[in-house]
Amino acid sequence: MQIGPHPLTGNLFVAPMAGVTDRPFRQLCKRLGATLAVSEMMSSQPHLRGSAKSRRRADHAGEVEPICVQIAGADPAMMADAARYNVDLGAQVIDVNMGCPAKKVCNVLAGSALLRDEPLVGRILDAVVRAVDVPVTLKIRTGWDPQRRNAVGVARIAHAAGVRLLAIHGRTRACGFTGNAEYDTIAAVKDEVSIPVVANGDIDSPEKAREVLARTRADAVMIGRAAQGRPWIFREIRHFLHTGEHLAPPEVAEIHQLLRVHLQELHAFYGEECGVRVARKHVAWYTKRLAGSAQFRQRLNTLERGEEQVAAVDRYFEQLGALDRRLTYTEEEPAA
């Protein structure tokens, strides 16, 4: 599979997630087997470009190529300008967000709200594709609600506009993240267009990845929430798809070191004060359902300095490693 001039060595993508897929997380997932990682969405509003949040999201220093930046908005001219702006900052692929279900995004008629206006979808995609000389991709849902699943029609528009790859979350905007993702619509899109199609939604295990690839005949799968606190899921899926066998659970010592480096990268990327706050949620995801994790997280959330946070993680994982060499998950303990 290839996106424009960029050959891809696998079929496992990291879904864009606001507040999660920052540069440290994208790099980590790529080191652990992900083929492509899409950035957090960048607003097309010019007045937001100077904010600290936007400047961090536009920072791709040292990132493994291809660098894929997602943009969001509802005005064709502004979206075209945002595409040019991000290419000038190093983006090698521009991804258009028409899949975000968040109210604050849909209330300004962006994200998945655009699926209700197919002519506007076409104008936006035409404008963005014409504006840049890098490949343009698109992320959508299956429709606005179960009564209006129009992903096939949107896919035709995207294909005609010159979009080079289409990722589809198997839920409508109305569904949010509730219920089960459905894959029949993704399969119908795959039958309709010749560009690569990526299936997204509820892919949380090697078996589920294989099942979704078979059911949809998609070219790749995109993983979001299941990678939170478990970025090694990409190597687990890759190994299973290639061999039909499962990798052994990771060793405690390896995950300890992985998390330790992740924390240090977050502290450096955000600065200590903000980095410590951002790191708390990642530590919570890493340690969920591990022995003694509820009490550990409660203590961790009182710490304000990066070195204290790293030292607390060191102590916890040393204790965990004394219990078992490999990660062993249990029922989540009640908060202390």
Annotated domain spans of the chain: 2-243, 252-323
2-243: CATH topology is TIM Barrel (3.20.20)
Contacts of 140 (CB under 8 A, 6+ apart): 98, 99, 112, 115, 151, 154, 155, 166, 167, 168, 169
CA distance 154 to 281: 35
pLDDT in tens, the chain (336 residues): 899 999 999 999 999 999 999 999 999 999 999 999 999 999 999 988 988 889 999 999 999 999 999 999 999 999 999 999 999 999 999 999 999 888 778 767 678 999 999 999 999 999 999 999 999 999 999 999 989 999 999 999 999 999 999 999 999 988 989 989 999 999 999 999 999 999 999 999 999 999 999 999 999 999 999 999 999 999 999 999 999 999 999 999 999 999 999 999 999 999 999 999 999 999 999 999 999 999 999 999 999 999 999 999 999 999 999 989 999 988 655 444
pLDDT recorded at residue 90 = 95
pLDDT recorded at residue 336 = 42
Catalytic residue among 29, 68, 100, 106: 100
- Residues 36, 14 contacting (CB under 8 angstroms): yes
CA distance 27 to 229: 14
252-323: CATH topology is 1.10.1200
Please confirm, yes or no, whether 100 is among the known catalytic residues.
yes
This prediction's pTM:
0.94
